[in-house]
Amino acid sequence: RKEVEQDPGPFNVPEGATVAFNCTYSNSASQSFFWYRQDCRKEPKLLMSVYSSGNEDGRFTAQLNRASQYISLLIRDSKLSDSATYLCVVAGGGADGLTFGKGTHLIIQP
Amino acid sequence: EAEVAQSPRYKITEKSQAVAFWCDPISGHATLYWYRQILGQGPELLVQFQDESVVDDSQLPKDRFSAERLKGVDSTLKIQPAELGDSAMYLCASRSGYNEQFFGPGTRLTVL
């Protein structure tokens, strides 16, 4: 079983729509959770951290369910510039490096 | 804005040759990571340094890969000999304390 699992997509979504991604993680001792964004042939960049209480940054909302070991990302009013791969990331639980999922590929269509 | 520097950006080599990648972290960042990202996958941690010391190299294929950070600043990752399966993006990241990891632009390696 992979440590972090995501649906690779692609998700083809019309501009302006709301889209949600999920991921699950296997290490119950994980302590930190993130969503990273990666554009084609570029390095990953931190989109937002994820907290148990849920957190919002503009059009982006992230939530964490520790009991189910489940992380979500919601994008509202999607823009063409949101097209990218979204990587679910966990850290801690005995390891300091980041553990990445394979990523979910999002394509926003005009 | 300070950035993680990596070179070369692209490297093409033949199998059995030796290759080396260089990373210069953001100034003052004590923690440095090397990741490998195969096309279609997420990055996977190869090695982590705290200053000049290796903290975690459990996923580094030590028969052919080596990494060093002699003065606790810049770092070099070496592969000898390179194999076809080593074709990937090699990403360096650095961090200060428990803050965000910042990634460099990566070195894209193609082994022929």
pLDDT tens-digit series, residues B85-110: 999 999 999 998 766 889 999 999 99
pLDDT band at B66 (very low <50, low <70, confident <90, very high): very high
Tokens of residue A12, six digits: 């083809």
Nearest Cα residue in chain A from B32: A97
- The residue-averaged pLDDT of A18-44 equals 93
Residue B100: its pLDDT value, please?
A: 81
Q: What are phi and psi of A41, to 5 degrees?
A: 65, 20
Does the bond joining A10 to the residue before it have cis omega, within 30 degrees of 0?
Answer: yes
Residue A93: its pLDDT value, please?
A: 61
Residue A1: its pLDDT value, please?
A: 57
Rounded to an integer, what distance in angstroms lies between the CA atom of residue A108 and that of residue B27? 37
Model confidence at A5: pLDDT above 80: yes
Residue A95: its pLDDT value, please?
A: 55
Kind and range of the H or E run holding B110: strand B107-111
Interface check B38 vs A, CB under 8 A: no
Model confidence at A15: pLDDT above 70: yes
Q: Do A98 and B101 make contact, defined as CB atoms within 8 angstroms?
A: yes
Tell me the DSSP string of A48-83: EE--TT-EEETTEEEEEETTTTEEEEEE-S--GGG-
pLDDT band at B3 (very low <50, low <70, confident <90, very high): very high
Q: Do A103 and B42 make contact, defined as CB atoms within 8 angstroms?
A: yes
